[in-house]
Amino acid sequence: MSGFWIMVTGALVASCCGILGCFLILRRMALVGDAISHSVLPGIVIAFLVSGSRDSVFMLFGAAIIGFVTVFLIQLFQNSGVQGDASIGVVFTSLFAAGVLLISLNASQVDLDLDCVLYGEIAYVHWNQLMINGVEVGPKAVWLLGITLFLIVAVIGLFYKQFKLCAFDPALAAAIGIPVALFHYVLMGLVSMATVSSFESVGAILVVGLLIVPPATAYLLTDRLGTMIGLSLVIGVISSIAGYYTAAVLDASIAGCMVCVAGVLFLLAFLFSPSHGLVVRKLRQRASTAREAY
């Protein structure tokens, strides 16, 4: 049964990240997830200092707040003329350094279990069960990720046209009255929520892989956003299931194998995609050269 919950958790994480990752790739902001995963460290430390508890609920709450602060600061710097990649780099390195400083000054003798919070361990997900009236109803991570996925699907579904237009042509979106800045913050807020809610399952660092690799693979396979989102979900779920069985065979990190499988799928798409594949393009060039020779 533990294997089932591990695969379900991985599939939920991949689904949350796959939907949002498509919009991030189209907006050339793929590394925002990486920025959030590093910059939430001071939120984790502050939550501990305020609550005096290492309960994951307090830490996740503190991380979520700093995640939204990260998104706000990145956008603020971009609006002030700083390049997008520079804004991301400045914000996440500064906040991560601030978290390290807070630990060294105030919590150097306390085991905050940052490895668990930042890196996660999906193999242990079935041990942390949600109890309702004394009855186990499933792992907490599955419920948390399920709620997160529901919110992501609901928001994207309700405002799909607005998100789509903002991703492809923000100038046109602004011209027809769509509040581009608002939808940007909503999207970044959803990314922050997905990243934070995955801390104790896949881990924030590995979430970056699922946030980027399946959508990037889908991007090579289609030119339609709806199809891209669907392919990203399928690739993410396949990566989770195949990654689990690969880890079982190799006796290796489950989360690491999931991302590695996603990387292999990306490589296959890069080489053999019908429209963008490297091998396919080479074959087309040779066929075109042969026709010209005749």
Higher pLDDT, 264 or 6: 264
Say if residue 111's pLDDT is above 60.
no
Quick: pLDDT tens for 45-75: 787 777 766 555 676 777 778 878 888 888 8
Quick: pLDDT tens for 195-239: 877 766 676 667 888 889 999 999 999 989 999 999 999 999 999
Architecture of domain 2-289: Orthogonal Bundle (1.10)
From the list 253, 67, 53, the residue with the least C-alpha distance to 148 is: 67
Dihedrals phi, psi of 223, to nearest 5 degrees: -115, 10
**How many C-beta neighbours within 10 Å does residue 132 have?**
9
Instruction: At 250, list the tokens.
Output: 């190799």
What per-residue confidence (pLDDT) applies to 219?
93
Asked whether the beta carbons of 218 and 232 are under 8 A apart, the reply is yes
Say if residue 243's pLDDT is above 80.
yes
Distance from C-alpha of 40 to C-alpha of 75, rounded to nearest angstrom: 17
Say if residue 110's pLDDT is above 60.
no
